[in-house]
């Protein structure tokens, strides 16, 4: 990144933290597990449009991610998305460019976010994983980092829905998973299936733990608020 891109990303990250993270009382757990240098595939759970800014809080590094090509055609907006690390992909799958771009990003030593569940899902169960994240990790021979985002679904589902602030949230980072070694240039399907099975199990474990941490945090907040009311003190707005 150029100096101006670095400054813009740092500024944007501060804005996102103030507008899309703190108001929901979200926190990052084990963020140090995200590699501080070198390429990696970040593989988060996917429940809400808030997943993008919440994922960005897991590391100070600029995270690269795919976005709908139509958004990048909007004047100014497309430029902003590009500066934030996004690159365009056609939703109909007709463009092979995103695969090349993804491998180029990993070859350049940057972290790349790929939602292994594909589209946004519902509920506490991690759904069947798509092969993309595992394939890229094996092809580029870079670690894949499972990340659970608990609370985004309750906080905001997307356009047409009102955000629900102060609900609490947890971004829980798991240990990086080393992909199986490949021989030759072709990534065998059995290797992808093997890595996907490991990723699914770890992502489900992390998602369960993240939701438990979120629930315990909300209960503790409720107890603090009740104690203040019992003592006659004004409740703290952040505990509501």
55-111 tens-digit pLDDT: 999 999 999 998 778 878 887 777 778 888 888 887 655 557 789 999 999 999 999
Considering the domain boundaries, does residue 163 fall inside one? yes
User: Alpha-carbon distance 102 to 75, whole Å?
Assistant: 24
* Segments of the chain assigned E as strands: 26-29, 40-44, 64-68, 86-89, 111-113, 144-150, 169-173
Q: Is residue 86 in some structural domain? A: no
The pTM for the full model equals 0.86
213, part of any domain: yes
Q: Which CATH number fits the domain that encloses residue 120?
A: 3.40.1130.10
Q: Is 93 a member of any domain?
A: no
Q: If you average pLDDT over residues 130-142, what whole number do you get? A: 97
Residue 78 is assigned to a structural domain of this protein:
no
- The reported pLDDT for the residue numbered 60 is 94
Q: Which domain holds residue 209?
A: 3-59+110-234
What is the tally of structural domains in the chain?
1
Length of the chain: 240
Residue 6 scores a pLDDT above 50: yes
Q: Report if residue 205 sits inside a domain.
A: yes
d(CA 169, CA 177): 24
What is the chain's Cα-based Rg? 19
């Amino acid at each position: 990144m150029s100096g101006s891109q670095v400054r813009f990303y740092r500024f944007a990250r501060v804005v996102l933290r103030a507008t899309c993270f703190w108001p929901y009382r979200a926190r990052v757990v084990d963020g140090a597990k995200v590699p501080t240098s070198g390429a990696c595939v970040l593989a988060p759970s996917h429940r809400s449009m808030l997943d993008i800014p919440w994922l960005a809080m897991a590391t100070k590094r600029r995270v690269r991610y795919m976005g709908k090509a139509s958004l990048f055609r909007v004047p100014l907006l497309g430029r902003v998305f590009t500066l934030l690390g996004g690159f365009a992909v056609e939703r109909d799958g007709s463009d092979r460019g995103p695969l090349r771009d993804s491998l180029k990003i990993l070859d350049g030593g940057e972290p790349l976010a790929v939602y292994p569940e594909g589209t946004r899902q519902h509920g506490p169960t991690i759904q069947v994983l798509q092969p993309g994240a595992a394939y890229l990790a094996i092809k580029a021979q870079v670690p894949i980092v499972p990340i659970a985002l608990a609370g985004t679904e309750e906080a905001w589902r997307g356009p047409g829905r009102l955000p629900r602030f102060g609900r609490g949230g947890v971004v829980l980072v798991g240990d990086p998973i080393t992909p199986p070694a490949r021989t030759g240039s072709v990534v065998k399907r059995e290797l992808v299936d093997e890595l996907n099975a490991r990723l699914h199990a770890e992502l489900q474990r992390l998602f369960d733990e993240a939701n438990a941490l979120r629930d315990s945090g909300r209960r503790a907040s409720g107890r603090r608020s009740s104690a203040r009311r019992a003592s006659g003190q004004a409740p703290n707005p952040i505990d509501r």
